[in-house]
Amino acid sequence: MPKIVDHDKQREALLDASFRLFAEGGYDAATMRKIAAAAGVSTGALYHYFPDKPSILAAMFDLLTRRDIARVQGQLPLEAPVPARIAALFAFLRENVEYLRALLSLALEVYRHEPGSASRAYVQTALRSYRTAMADILGVDGTLAEMAFTFLLGSLTYGTLDPDGLDLAQAETFVQGVWTRFAAAQGGPVPASGSAAG
């Protein structure tokens, strides 16, 4: 009988430690030794769970995406009108800015780390999951969803580069304004489904 360790739980613990370090200083700055130390294990133990450094990253993205989606879907305001949904989205954003910024920065960094499509595949997968999740929250799809996602990415990027640069409250007001105007153009406050642009 082997040493009693919940393999999957250990894996997750290691991935969490990894994310912490990746988020701080980026992929390269997070050395295997540091990750191991942060997780309280030896270097060798790391390799017991992951064959190499890139695969840690891949596993981490997978875990986080899965978790995030689950978390978001748990608190979906299913029948609310769009403005309330927008408010919910911004509330989520505000609560998780640091985390989301870190994730995005990491995604961008990884994306160029290897021209081989290997590492890019799971970043795209994650990205699309988040896009779908956002569209579900907003209750909007089509072009408007694309635009909203773009704006969201922009607000994360902007906030990362210049912490004093973007006022999220202002952004929310703006988005509400856009929605109102686009919905009005379609003939009244649309509840939860309207794709207005197209």
Partner DNA sequence: TATGAATGAGGCTTCATTCAT
Partner DNA sequence: AATGAATGAAGCCTCATTCAT
Give the interface with its own copies as residue ranges (CB under 8 A): 24-26, 28-29, 104-105, 107-109, 111-113, 115, 123-124, 127-128, 131, 143-144, 146-147, 149-158, 160-162, 165-167, 170-171, 173-174, 177-178, 181-182, 185-186, 196-198
Which of 8, 51, 115, 117: binder of DNA (CB under 7 A)?
A: 51
- How far is it, in rounded angstroms, from Cα 134 to Cα 148? 9
Binding of DNA by 20 (CB under 7 A): no
Picked from its own copies, DNA, none, the partner binding residue 32 (CB below 5 to 8 A depending on kind) is DNA
Binding of DNA by 49 (CB under 7 A): yes
Binding of DNA by 45 (CB under 7 A): yes
Rounded to an integer, what is the distance from CA 187 to the centroid of its chain? 34
Q: Provide the binding-site residues for DNA, judged by CB under 7 A.
A: 1-5, 7, 10, 28-34, 41-45, 47-49, 51-54
